[in-house]
Copies of this chain bind each other. A is one copy, B any other.
Amino acid sequence: MTDFAARLTEIADKVTVALDQLIPAAAGPEADLMRAMRHAGLANGKRIRPFFLLEVGSMFGAPETPLLHAAAALECVHTYSLVHDDLPCMDDDDLRRGQPTVHVAFDEATAVLAGDALLTLAFGVLADENMEVGATVRLHLISKLAEAAGARGMVAGQMIDMLGREHVRDLNTITRMQRMKTGALISYAVEAGAIIGGASEAERHALAGFANDLGLAYQIADDLLDVTGDVAQLGKATGKDDEAGKSTFVTLLGVEGAQQRVRLLAAQAKEHMAIFRNRANILLQSVDYVLDREH
């Protein structure tokens, strides 16, 4: 097992424990709301965003408590976006993280509400004193999360994705869509680690470049997996983009062209990290993981 793989597993486990403590226990006539939040939030995700947040923060010697809370908050936002994106009126997916999606396991209303509650919880976690970090840092984290996740970030990316084939046909639009839909939260993960770690301006700049390139590489790899991947390993449906007649990086660049783009972006991502020398070893390994991932 590489250092990266070990660290990814370690962080995933810790974030799941943190989420288990932060998501309210099921109680009262509204118990299905918490059950649905837990169904989605405690499922076996890769926790790649928490990984970036904790790994970047640790590189600057930040304490684990604020990093873990911020990572849990970020994962709440990521999870809520999956729950809502899977709804019948959106991507209409039945399978997620190897289990039935929330609207299948419960119902649509519960899925909408569980998503809403997870998003709300994220901001509550970041504002809480249990973050064990100063007020200015907490506010900075909240501002940046609202920006990354909101109408000029993730939600706008999903909105463009919903427009489908008529509107999303060229590489520029797809790139912008993906930078918002997936890239914004990956960049936030790296940025939040840097904020909590007190990174310098130059360090933040390098990390932003790293996150930008890696986020895009990650998404193109995702499009490739939709074509070449295996349902059982992915834990979600494949071939969906093609079925919907959507333009993706793969339909526009071809499989080889897309693979080449991933390699190029990965190399660029690594170059950004040169200023950190061997402190960034595990982050550099994460780039190779994105290149080779099978799920």
| Chain A residues engaging chain B, CB cutoff 8 angstroms | 23-24, 28-30, 32-34, 37, 80, 84, 87, 89-90, 107-110, 112-113, 115-117, 119-121, 123-124, 126-128, 135-136, 138-139, 142-143, 145-147, 149-152, 155-160, 162-163, 167-168, 173
Cross-interface CB contact of A142 among B33, B142, B159, cutoff 8 Å: B142
Question: Which chain B residues border A24 with CB–CB below 8 Å?
Answer: 151-152
Q: Chain A interface secondary structure, helix, strand, loop or mixed?
A: helix
Query: What are the nearest 6 A-B pairs in CB distance?
Result: A124-B146, A89-B108, A135-B135, A117-B151, A127-B142, A120-B150
A110 touches B152 (CB 8 A): no
A160 touches B30 (CB 8 A): yes
Question: Which chain B residues border A138 with CB–CB below 8 Å?
Answer: 139
A123 touches B151 (CB 8 A): no
Copies of this protein chain in the complex: 2
Look across to chain B and name the residue whose beta carbon is closest to the beta carbon of A24: B151
Cross-interface CB contact of A30 among B32, B108, B136, B156, cutoff 8 Å: B156
CB distance from A279 to the nearest CB of B (A): 30
Question: Which chain B residues border A28 with CB–CB below 8 Å?
Answer: 156, 160
Question: Which chain B residues border A147 with CB–CB below 8 Å?
Answer: 124
* CA–CA, A151 and B32, complex, Å: 11
Return 17 A-B CB contacts under 8 Å, by A number.
A30-B156, A32-B159, A33-B156, A34-B151, A80-B116, A89-B112, A112-B112, A116-B116, A117-B156, A119-B119, A120-B149, A121-B150, A123-B142, A127-B139, A127-B142, A127-B143, A135-B136
Look across to chain B and name the residue whose beta carbon is closest to the beta carbon of A152: B24
Question: Which chain B residues border A37 with CB–CB below 8 Å?
Answer: 151
* CA–CA, A80 and B84, complex, Å: 14
Look across to chain B and name the residue whose beta carbon is closest to the beta carbon of A148: B120
CB distance from A294 to the nearest CB of B (A): 30
Question: Which chain B residues border A115 with CB–CB below 8 Å?
Answer: 116
B90 touches A112 (CB 8 A): yes
Look across to chain B and name the residue whose beta carbon is closest to the beta carbon of A34: B151
CB distance from A285 to the nearest CB of B (A): 33
Look across to chain B and name the residue whose beta carbon is closest to the beta carbon of A137: B135
CB distance from A142 to the nearest CB of B (A): 4
